[in-house]
Amino acid sequence: MKPKSIFSEEPHVVGKSQVEIGAYLAEVGGCHDCHTPGWAQAPGNVPEDQLLAGSPVGFSGPWGTSYPANLRVSVQASTAEEWADMMKDRNGLPPMPWSTVNHMSREDLMAIHAYINSLGEGGNDIPMAVTDGSGPHTAYIWFMPEPPENHAANR
């Protein structure tokens, strides 16, 4: 038996504006957790010029090292429709939850675009992913489980 999907093309959130809806979706969707530097240390208490500006701290695993993109750059480079289409079809490196993003409604994705676009240009230069085995070259989070005996030995 296949579980009934909660995903549909209908928007699930209503608000006063696309920007307000997008801000809500970005927060509950965890976008800031990786794409806003300092968010994990001070949720919601980050200067606006750093919101969704990307992070040079990588996530490393068997795929190499990936970096949380500066979403302001990708939004500025595309219309809401283009960005929503890209998000619906895109797959990439972990830990980005692409399967979740792919299932979002087009309207919800365009609301996220409106929110990010409202933040304006800016942000940080983010390193490109390293998949050739030569990295990581920056601070990183090792994104693989370790057996409990490794943890006990490192105390």
Question: Helices 106-118 and 18-28 sit at what angle, rounded to 10 degrees?
Answer: 100
Instruction: Judge whether residue 50 has pLDDT over 90.
Output: yes
Find out whether 37 and 46 touch, Cβ atoms under 8 Å: yes
Banded pLDDT at 7 (limits 50, 70, 90): low
3-state secondary structure of 137: coil
For range 96-104, the mean pLDDT: 93
**Sign of the alpha-carbon dihedral angle for 5, 91, 89, 49:** positive
For range 46-75, the mean pLDDT: 95
Instruction: Judge whether residue 155 has pLDDT over 60.
Output: no
Identify the CA nearest to 86 among candidates 67, 97, 102, 108.
102
For range 20-48, the mean pLDDT: 94
User: What is the per-residue pLDDT across 126-147, written as a single tens digit (0 to 9) for each?
Assistant: 999 999 999 899 999 998 887 8
Find out whether 135 and 56 touch, Cβ atoms under 8 Å: no
pLDDT at position 2 is 46
pTM for this predicted structure: 0.86
Non-local (6+) Cβ contacts of 44 within 8 A are none
Q: Structural domain boundaries of the chain?
A: 18-153
Question: Apex CA 120: angle with CA 36 and CA 60, to 5°?
Answer: 25
